[in-house]
Structure 1
Amino acid sequence: MSKKVNLNSSNSKVINGTVFVTALKCHEMSKMLAEEIQHGNNITHPTLGIMYQYNGKFSRSNS
């Protein structure tokens, strides 16, 4: 069974087709999903703080 993480505009950003998630969302993910986080590739968002690249499956809503 393939799991995916649920994302929205308050815990993730898509920049040039790359998904970045907040540090808080990283800590909330299950161990299996957290393996898809690239901690070495991060950005600093002005309001959301440090965000890490996520390469796994996800579902993202705009709310």
Structure 2
Amino acid sequence: MAPVPDPSDIVEVETTHVHCDGGGGALGHPKVYLTLVDGEAVCPYCDRKFVLKTGIMPVIGH
């Protein structure tokens, strides 16, 4: 069974394009840009999970 992410590592967002830098300033990681697919994305460096807020409709295109 996969470990359940710590709730502090789950970020609710209102857009399908986000970035993550680890949140630790110099102690973070390189900034990566993520696109939420099916309403979520996971940072490949720190495993922080980004989820689309309930009721937000994803925008298709620009």
Fold in common (TM above 0.5):
no
Give me the TM-score of the superposition, normalised by structure 2: 0.27
Could you tell me the TM-score, scaled by structure 1's length?
Answer: 0.26
- Structure possessing the higher relative contact order (Cα contacts under 8 Å, 6 or more residues apart): 1
The structure with more strand, counted as a fraction of residues: 1
Higher helix share: 1
Larger radius of gyration: 2
